[in-house]
Every structure is written in structure tokens, then in C-alpha cells.
Amino acid sequence: SGTPEEVAPPLQQSFMIPRKEINMVSDMAKWKRSQAYADYMGFILTLNEGVRGKKLTCEYKVSEPIEKLVALLNTLDRWIDETPPVDQPSRFGNKAFRTWYAKLDQEAEKLVATVIPKHLADAAPEVAVYLKESVGNSTRIDYGTGHEAAFAAFLCCLCKIGVLRVDDQMAIVFKVFNRYLEVMRKLQKTYRMEPAGSQGVWGLDDFQFLPFIWGSSQLIDHPHLEPRHFVDEKVVNENHKDFMFLECILFITELKTGPFAEHSSQLWNISAVPSWSKVNQGLIRMYKAECLEKFPVIQHFKFGSLLPIQPVTS
């Protein structure tokens, strides 16, 4: 995965390119060989190690950029309250989401500019692209792991330009990404968003994947909680505030009815794995195979100067 310093090198300002030069995936083999893929996976794996064995409620450093990112997400949350669902015949895909998204589309660069220092202002247009991609598709009114990946790429870009630092690792996951999850869940419930590219009961989850990876890392070497325990409703209710993985399970059980083994068969199978370290390793392999290497998921991933399509050089 590389050291944190390798994953998040300082930005050379001359590398910035205009937003119009950001392109989408057209060749999966080229994507897997790209600097963007290497940097993205390095970022995911560095954070995976950073939260290993740590609770959401533990103490960690919260820097000014982290606070600004939380404020940005709080703004998106407030806009949901200001944009209630509209009455419409269809149950899913409430069109009020398009109104909400139009506001983000208009304000994204200004929001990003509140997070990055003035001397890096030229980076705002490029970084804002990933923020806009991270909340779902306004045409289809759906959300999936490709959108989640865009938010991780947004955070990765902030690391690459030096806004987020190595010692922000825990806060990136526990403070920022966890707040992002809360806002996305509110979006999904408020506007009844469809899952994008859902595999139904054979998928891990309708909407998210990364919190299962980082959440399983949190639970590695836990003295009491084993993978078999996350299907126990009592255990989930008592521990979900400490562990991202259990928060995800709680959200699934709130949305879906019937036996857990029937509506979430992949997770049910994972509960039989003997240790959290094996769960974590398996989920990383699954994420690469089922998300990052599936064209329908990754086809809209954007490339630019910060996450380039050029072959990996480091």
C-alpha cells in the first residue's frame, strides 16, 4: 500500500490541469495499471491500517481542515432539510433530489474553496468534480459504490495537495467519512434513491462497501466480538456506536425486513469467517474484484492531474 508519505505527496502546482481535461474510464486494463488506481488503493489501505483496532469513540486529533470538511457535509445535510420530497406517483427516486443536486452542482467549487488554503485555490475546480460525483446520479436518482469511491477519491486528492496530513488518518475515517455516511443515508431515505448497480441479495450492501472494510479493521483482535456476533441484534445495538461495521448492519436491518440470511446472504456468509483479519483481507479482495474492476461501477471515475490515467510510476 506504500507509506502514508508516498500515498499523499505534496502537490506541485504546475501539475494542475483544467477541469475539462478530466476524462472517464474507457479501458479497464489501463485503469488497473494507472497511477490513479495505485494512489486510490494506497489511500484505502493506509486508512485501513490507521483505524485498525480503534473505536469510533476513541480520542484522536481533529485538525482545522477536518473541521472544515465536517462543516461542508453539515451544509449538504441542511440542504436536505431545505429540499423536502415532492408528491409524485412513483415510490422511488423522488425528483426533489434533482433540486438538491442542482444546488451542489452550483456551489461545489465554493464549498471546496472553504476547505483548501488560498495558495491552492487552483485545485478547487478539479477536486470539486469528485465531490459532485460522490452523492449519486441526478438523472437516475441512484447511489452506489462508484459514488462512494468518488468521495474517497475526493479525500485522496485533498491528501495529495497537502490539505490532509498523515496524522489526520483516524479523523478522515471516523470524523469525515462517518459524517459522509450519515448524510448519504439521509439522502437515500429522504429521496428513496435506487441502488446503483445493485447485485440484490448477492451483493455485500445496496449502497456502501468501504465502511465494511475499515469497520472490519476496527474489530481486528477485539477481545470479545467475533464475526459471528454481528448477526446478533443485541450485540449490534450495544456496540454500533463504536464500530462502523456494526453501524452498517444496523442501517441494513432498519431498511430491510425478513431473516438476515435471506436479504443479506453475502454478509451472512461472512459471519462464518473465523477472524476479523480474514474478513478484512477478504473484503479488500472483494472490493477490488466487485467494485474497482467492474466496468458498470467504475466507468464514471474521473481522471485529472491529481489522479492521472498514466501508468503507475511509484
**Residue 250 in this model has a pLDDT that exceeds 70:** yes
Q: Please, which pLDDT band fits residue 11 given cuts at 50, 70 and 90?
A: very low
Q: Is residue 10 part of a domain?
A: no
Specify the CATH number for the domain of residue 222.
1.20.120.1150
Task: For residue 137, give the 3-state DSSP assignment.
Answer: strand
pLDDT above 90: percentage of residues in the chain:
75
Q: Is residue 144 part of a domain?
A: yes
Q: Is residue 15 part of a domain?
A: no
Q: Is residue 79 part of a domain?
A: yes
Number of domains in the chain: 1
> Is the separation of the CB atoms in 194 and 142 below 8 Å?
yes
Which pLDDT belongs to residue 196?
A: 84
Q: Is residue 48 part of a domain?
A: yes
Q: Please, which pLDDT band fits residue 296 given cuts at 50, 70 and 90?
A: confident
**Residue 156 in this model has a pLDDT that exceeds 50:** yes
The residue count for the chain? 314
> Is the separation of the CB atoms in 56 and 182 below 8 Å?
no
> Is the separation of the CB atoms in 144 and 207 below 8 Å?
yes
> What is the pTM (predicted TM-score) of this model?
0.90
Cα dihedral across residues 103, 109, 110, 113: positive or negative = positive
Q: Which residue bears the cell 409524485?
A: 88
More confident residue, 202 or 11: 202
**Helix, strand, coil % over all residues of the chain, rounded to 5:** 60, 5, 35
Q: Is residue 49 part of a domain?
A: yes
Which pLDDT belongs to residue 5?
A: 37
Nearest to 243 by CA among 276, 195, 202, 285: 276
Which amino acid is present at 125? P
Which pLDDT belongs to residue 18?
A: 35
> Is the separation of the CB atoms in 136 and 206 below 8 Å?
no
Q: Is residue 162 part of a domain?
A: yes
Which pLDDT belongs to residue 2?
A: 38
Q: 176-190, 214-228, 285-299: lowest mean pLDDT where?
A: 285-299
Q: Is residue 12 part of a domain?
A: no
Which amino acid is present at 156? C
Structural domain for 132, as ranges? 22-84+91-303
